[in-house]
A and B are shown apart, each in its own frame.
Chain A
Amino acid sequence: QKEVEQDPGPLSVPEGAIVSLNCTYSNSAFQYFMWYRQYSRKGPELLMYTYSSGNKEDGRFTAQVDKSSKYISLFIRDSQPSDSATYLCAMSATRGRRALTFGSGTRLQVQP
Chain B
Amino acid sequence: KAGVTQTPRYLIKTRGQQVTLSCSPISGHRSVSWYQQTPGQGLQFLFEYFSETQRNKGNFPGRFSGRQFSNSRSEMNVSTLELGDSALYLCASSLDRGADTQYFGPGTRLTVL
Contacts and interface: CB of A to CB of B under 8 A. Distances in A.
Given A32-B99, A44-B43, A103-B42, A98 B104 contact: no
A45 B104 contact: yes
A98 B56 contact: yes
Contacts of A101: 45
A44 B31 contact: no
Interface string B68-99: 00000000000000000000001010101011
Contacts, number: 65
A96 B106 contact: no
How many chain B residues sit at the interface, stated as a range, is 20 to 34
Interface string A42-56: 111110010100000
Interface residues of A, number: 23
Interface of B: 4, 31, 33, 35, 42-45, 48, 55-56, 58, 90, 92, 94, 96, 98-107
The 10 A-B pairs of least Cβ separation, nearest first, read A43-B104, A102-B43, A104-B42, A99-B56, A44-B104, A99-B45, A98-B48, A43-B106, A43-B105, A95-B99
